[in-house]
A and B are shown apart, each in its own frame.
Chain A
Amino acid sequence: MDNLEKEEWDIEITPKNALFDLKLKDVWHYRDLLILMVRRDFVSFYKQTILGPIWFFVQPIITILIYNLVFNNLANIGTDKIPGPIFYLAGTIIWNYFADCLTKTSTVFRDNAAVLGKVYFPRLIMPLSIVLSNLIRFSVQFLLFILLIIIYLFKGAPIIPNVYLLLFPFLIILIAALGLGFGMIISAVTTKYRDLAFVVSFGVPLLMYTTTVIYPLSAAIAKYPSYSWMIKFNPITSVIETFRFGFLGKGSFSWQLLGYSSILTLFILLIGIVIFNKVEKTFVDTV
């Protein structure tokens, strides 16, 4: 009666996940799906439009023109002696990436509840596909940024790209990790408690004002020396400042600030992994 043959199982379905197990092997197996979903997001975005992909440029261009008019000229906040448009563009493209990550992940599971309820694929693919499509959008707008720098350099504007722009790849990794970390937390928690989705939807536009998109950090420190720590607390601040410093030569760059942001990012990523794992298996029942 004793069966000596060892039973080998390929998949074991149990109630709970291991705490830190992201099942990356599974995600790798489904990489075609990931690419297709990113592609689907882009393609359906400009189906049946005439201008098509040009719309990716229209939004930042109009935004920076309005910022320049309102914040630089009307409110006189100043841009650290850098030409207004390019100052705002630097901050805007990074902020756009984040804002999109946060808002889209807060509804990703709800929007796709039908598919998720009927077929299995690693749930991590959903927030991951959002981070990836946003990164692609970011790189398209980044090209616009580079173009503008070249134009300004040509016109002899006071911008000095320096060696710190080599930190750029690290910055990309940082924002990708931060986007994914927040994305995992938000997408996991909003499946059951939609309160967070509401917070995200009105909080994200307001959050922009606590980062240095529309004003340089130096101006904030000068005006509110005792409260400026709140602005520095925001990890995105140091990313934007470093980015501006590397490409434009003016910005409050400090290794401590960058180091602090990196540690905070790592922390958020880990919390994101834990929360996501806890919720992933059964969120279909509650979304």
Chain B
Amino acid sequence: MAKVIQVKNLSKAYQLGNFGTGTISRDLERFWAKLRGKEDPFLRIGEVNDRTVKGESDIVWSLRDLNFEIKQGESVGIIGRNGAGKSTLLKILSRVTSPTTGSVKVKGRISSLLEVGTGFHPELSGKENIYLNGAILGMRKAEIKRKFDEIVDFSGVERYIDTPVKRYSSGMYVRLAFAVAAHLESDILIVDEVLAVGDAEFQKKCLGKMGDMSKGEGRTVLFVSHNMGSIVQLCNHCILLNRGIIENEGSPALIVQKYYNQNVQDLSFFGNKNTDIYLKQIFACNAVDEQTSNFSHSEDIHLRIVVGVNKYDPIQNIGLALLTRDKRRVFTVNKAFSEFYTAASKDVTVDFIIEGGMIAPMDYSFLVALNTRTGLVTYDWQEDICPIRIYDDGTEFAFAEGADYGCIILKDKWKVIKN
């Protein structure tokens, strides 16, 4: 597969603070150093872009020594926390700004969509703005003319096409802007989080169109998003940036998991009581025994419960429920404790396994209780513990991540009775 983008030693340093009297003396110093053939003295004091630290220098490395390649036809997702350098990387690839060191070599034409409605002039009508925006994005006038009807059709603002865009609603604005960008004919398309705006229907349309572009037409797509579901759905390769360097790259499902693991906290529960049986420790972990609070939709979730036993009784019962954010129950299970207890044990450790592929991607927490079968005596009751997040790794509802479409994803069963 031919390489279409080759990045070598790419770095970008930014100067913080205001530009003013200080900078001209710096510029002169820099010029003098360059004249003598030495390197820029101020880049040496640059620091890494860590947003949790104030730092001492006012020069920050937004990107530090990036090296990667992208092949033709790949659709690459670039993910990372805020401040990792994703937008800076896209800006350099789009030639909006230039690198401090290193080089990028590109084969083919690049079109970038870093913001919807770039260059829209409020006084001009929708039609005039299609031409202007198209020209800014690099289309020739003949090209725009040829695709004009398609663009207007995709946007759905045909009725208002001759009105100045300052009168458009924000939804119309965004639809028109994306319609122009969606019809760009370029080899490489770069999209930066622009799908964060717009309603669910629009997002679905955009994702669909981008999917067509990469899978159908074989164009190379670079996609930055915080919506992990759409990343996994759309991309076949993923790069994880952290503080200006490439932390990892590989298949989307794996890299998205690594992204979530950047934020692992200890959310386990510890307890101690002198009731007959009590909950000693509870935490969520995955199939390979790693404690985590983030699970992909298709993964099995294990809830590990350690029950301390002071005095065993056959009527003892362990119950468990999965709670939504609103503390409503998704399901409840009950099990007689006698199934797990053996006379030799002091503590009993059990895993409750929720099979993957069932629970919808959302935030949940658990309720674990120890009581008697009849419910008359409660030994221990812990509600709203071990919060977990199930994230979308490519369900059909990826575009609606965050909305409430229910807690269960059913395998749908339809049967035609009459048609």
Q: Is A36 interfacial (CB 8 A cutoff)?
A: yes
CB distance from B60 to the nearest CB of A (A): 12
Q: Which of A8, A44, A116, A119 neighbours the largest number of chain B CB atoms within 10 Å of its CB?
A: A119
Which residues of A sit under 8 angstroms from B138, Cβ to Cβ?
Answer: 30, 120-121
- Interface residues in A1-42 by Cβ distance below 8 A to B read 7-16, 30, 32-33, 36-37, 40
Residue of A whose beta carbon sits closest to that of B141: A32
Chain B, residues 3-26, CB within 8 Å of chain A (1/0): the string is: 100100000001100010001100
Query: How far apart sit A15 and B11, CA to CA, in the bound complex (Å)?
Result: 10
Q: Is B203 interfacial (CB 8 A cutoff)?
A: no
Which residues of B sit under 8 angstroms from A33, Cβ to Cβ?
Answer: 135-136
Q: Is A115 interfacial (CB 8 A cutoff)?
A: yes
A116-B96, A119-B96, A284-B96 are contacts. A15–B101 as well, Cβ < 8 Å? Answer: yes
Chain B, residues 135-169, CB within 8 Å of chain A (1/0): the string is: 11110110000000000000000000000100000
Query: How far apart sit A116 and B15, CA to CA, in the bound complex (Å)?
Result: 19
Residue of B whose beta carbon sits closest to that of A115: B119
Residue of B whose beta carbon sits closest to that of A47: B123
Query: How far apart sit A219 and B110, CA to CA, in the bound complex (Å)?
Result: 59
CB distance from A98 to the nearest CB of B (A): 26
CB distance from B273 to the nearest CB of A (A): 59
Q: Is B114 interfacial (CB 8 A cutoff)?
A: yes
Which residues of A sit under 8 angstroms from B102, Cβ to Cβ?
Answer: 15
Residue of A whose beta carbon sits closest to that of B187: A10
CB distance from A30 to the nearest CB of B (A): 7
B95 touches which of A7, A8, A13, A193 (Cβ 8 Å): A13
Q: Is A282 interfacial (CB 8 A cutoff)?
A: yes
Query: How far apart sit A16 and B101, CA to CA, in the bound complex (Å)?
Result: 9
Q: Is B346 interfacial (CB 8 A cutoff)?
A: no
- Interface residues in A111-157 by Cβ distance below 8 A to B read 114-121
Contact present for A13 and B98 (CB under 8 Å): yes
A36-B131, A286-B19 are contacts. A9–B105 as well, Cβ < 8 Å? Answer: yes
Q: How many residues belonging to B are interface residues under a CB distance threshold of 8 Å?
A: 45
Contact present for B132 and A36 (CB under 8 Å): yes
- Interface residues in B1-58 by Cβ distance below 8 A to A read 3, 6, 14-15, 19, 23-24
Contact present for A118 and B115 (CB under 8 Å): yes
For this complex, into which size category does the number of interface residues on chain A fall?
A: 35 or more
Residue of B whose beta carbon sits closest to that of A43: B124
Which residues of B sit under 8 angstroms from A10, Cβ to Cβ?
Answer: 106-109
Which residues of A sit under 8 angstroms from B15, Cβ to Cβ?
Answer: 285-286
Interface of chain A: mostly helix, strand, loop or mixed: loop
Contact present for A11 and B135 (CB under 8 Å): no
Contact present for A12 and B104 (CB under 8 Å): yes
Residue of B whose beta carbon sits closest to that of A32: B141
A192 touches which of B3, B19, B94, B108 (Cβ 8 Å): B19
Contact present for A281 and B135 (CB under 8 Å): no
Query: How far apart sit A36 and B124, CA to CA, in the bound complex (Å)?
Result: 11
Contact present for B98 and A282 (CB under 8 Å): yes
A36-B132, A47-B123 are contacts. A11–B110 as well, Cβ < 8 Å? Answer: yes
Chain B, residues 81-107, CB within 8 Å of chain A (1/0): the string is: 000000000011111111111111111
Contact present for B121 and A40 (CB under 8 Å): yes
A11-B106, A13-B104, A47-B123 are contacts. A281–B19 as well, Cβ < 8 Å? Answer: no
Contact present for A119 and B99 (CB under 8 Å): no
Contact present for B99 and A14 (CB under 8 Å): yes
Q: Is B230 interfacial (CB 8 A cutoff)?
A: no
A12-B103, A13-B92 are contacts. A281–B131 as well, Cβ < 8 Å? Answer: no
Which residues of A sit under 8 angstroms from B100, Cβ to Cβ?
Answer: 15
Query: How far apart sit A47 and B164, CA to CA, in the bound complex (Å)?
Result: 10
B137 touches which of A12, A14, A119 (Cβ 8 Å): A119
CB distance from B132 to the nearest CB of A (A): 5
Q: Is B118 interfacial (CB 8 A cutoff)?
A: yes
Contact present for A13 and B103 (CB under 8 Å): yes
Residue of B whose beta carbon sits closest to that of A41: B121
Q: Is B112 interfacial (CB 8 A cutoff)?
A: yes
CB distance from A217 to the nearest CB of B (A): 38
Contact present for B96 and A44 (CB under 8 Å): no
Which residues of A sit under 8 angstroms from B164, Cβ to Cβ?
Answer: 47
Contact present for B97 and A119 (CB under 8 Å): no
Query: How far apart sit A247 and B103, CA to CA, in the bound complex (Å)?
Result: 55
Contact present for B96 and A120 (CB under 8 Å): yes
Contact present for B14 and A118 (CB under 8 Å): no
A36-B132, A115-B118, A286-B19 are contacts. A281–B98 as well, Cβ < 8 Å? Answer: yes
A10-B109, A13-B103, A40-B132 are contacts. A117–B98 as well, Cβ < 8 Å? Answer: no
12 pairs, CB–CB < 8 Å, chain A vs chain B: A10-B107, A10-B109, A11-B106, A13-B104, A32-B141, A33-B136, A47-B164, A114-B118, A118-B115, A119-B112, A119-B118, A284-B96
**Sample of 14 more A-B contacts, CB < 8 Å, known A13-B103, A15-B100:** A9-B105, A12-B104, A13-B95, A13-B99, A13-B106, A36-B135, A40-B124, A115-B119, A118-B118, A119-B114, A120-B138, A121-B136, A284-B96, A286-B19
